[in-house]
Amino acid sequence: MELSVGGLRLASRLVRAVPGPVGAAAASALGRLAVPLSGDQRLIAERNMRRALGPDASDAQIRRAVRQVFQSYARYWFDTLRLPALTPTQVADGISIEGLHHLTEAIDRGVGPILALPHVGGWEWAGRYLGTEHGWNVSAVAEKLEPPELYEWFLDLRDELGMRIIPLGPSAGSESAKALADGDVMCLLCDRDLAGSGIEVGFFGERTTLPGGPALMALRSGSPLLPTAVYFRGSRCHGVVEAPLDTERRGRLRDDVERVTQDLAHALERLIRIAPEQWHLLQPNWPSDLVALGLDDGVAPSGAEPTGDAEGRPAASR
């Protein structure tokens, strides 16, 4: 789906002008209509549903799940675009969080926690809630988009939500470390290796790479690495924050990053399988995806640095 700044601004005005239930119903209908028009994205969604639902899922179950993925993704955009206009009370009433004590325990110790998220449901709702309800600073790392106007629009949106965005680049590692030292909650979407230079892992039964930045940041900073997902539940959201992964140093830094990243991959599998139909990963993420799209020979990268460069720049967020 091609995004334009003009289209996003218009959509933002529209979703803020209609009642929530009406807009949600319209978003669901648009998502359903997008399925037959989506081509490659539909193929990737189908492959992901087969991974998450397992080999026993019928073709009918896969088709239904794929349709729900597009409806859920439309719901994500509807919620994200209207979220800045909601009052703090509306935001708080629209979410529940299970495992919130893992964050409070870290912040009480003066340590910023790292939330490692898959592209599931709508994490921005939780990001705004943590700021407005608890007064915590929320940071996230984001890739730079083209054209620059589109990137600036996303920065403005996240700023409206009270989030600090750290651009993916040479200084992202040091800026993220400072944010954690300041006690910020760091949100990292990490079920896709955008740079293609992450850590090789087993993920849903296939070899691929995932970003090593979350593991490296936790190992270096002492911040807890918390697998987290925010799901749509009816008209509300529900966040799940799992217990911290084991990020105790055991040997060479690279070996520790590989171990923790593989543990994170298993945690992401668990979180995604709770609601696979809300998994909005619509880009190729495994070598076999590239083969299915006719884009590559399927040779997986190996021996890459943990986070894309020697300084350990972390993964980007949507």
CA gap 181, 317 in Å, rounded: 20
DSSP-derived 3-state class of residue 119: coil
Domain limits of the chain? 87-292
How far CA 130 is from CA of 95, 97, 263, 298, in Å, comes to 11, 10, 26, 41
CA gap 223, 185 in Å, rounded: 10
Q: Is 237:95 a contact under the CB 8 Å cutoff?
A: yes
> pLDDT tens-digit profile of 48-102?
999 999 999 999 999 999 999 999 999 999 999 999 999 999 999 999 999 999 9
The pLDDT assigned to 308 comes to 35
Mean per-residue pLDDT, 217-237 = 96
DSSP 8-state symbol, 264 = H
DSSP-derived 3-state class of residue 187: strand
CA gap 318, 62 in Å, rounded: 25
CB within 8 Å of 185: residues ≥ 6 apart: 103, 107, 112, 113, 115, 130, 136, 137, 138, 139
Enumerate the H helices of the chain as residue ranges. 5-17, 20-34, 40-53, 59-82, 88-93, 101-108, 123-134, 148-160, 172-181, 213-221, 253-274, 287-292
The region that residue 206 occupies, defined by phi over 0 for left and psi between -120 and 50 for alpha, beta otherwise, is beta
CA gap 162, 159 in Å, rounded: 5
Share of the chain above pLDDT 70, in %: 92
> pLDDT tens-digit profile of 129-155?
999 999 999 999 888 777 788 888 888
The pLDDT assigned to 187 comes to 96
> pLDDT tens-digit profile of 176-188?
999 999 999 999 9
Which is nearest to 156 in space by CA: 308, 12, 307?
Answer: 12
**pLDDT confidence of 313, banded at 50, 70, 90?**
very low
The pLDDT assigned to 297 comes to 61
CA angle (73, 79, 83) in 5-degree steps: 150
Q: Which amino acid is at 267?
A: A
CA angle (212, 142, 156) in 5-degree steps: 165
CA gap 274, 158 in Å, rounded: 27
How far CA 218 is from CA of 26, 34, 183, 223, 310, in Å, comes to 41, 39, 13, 5, 16
Q: Is 146:169 a contact under the CB 8 Å cutoff?
A: no
> pLDDT tens-digit profile of 214-225?
999 999 999 999
Q: Which amino acid is at 109?
A: R
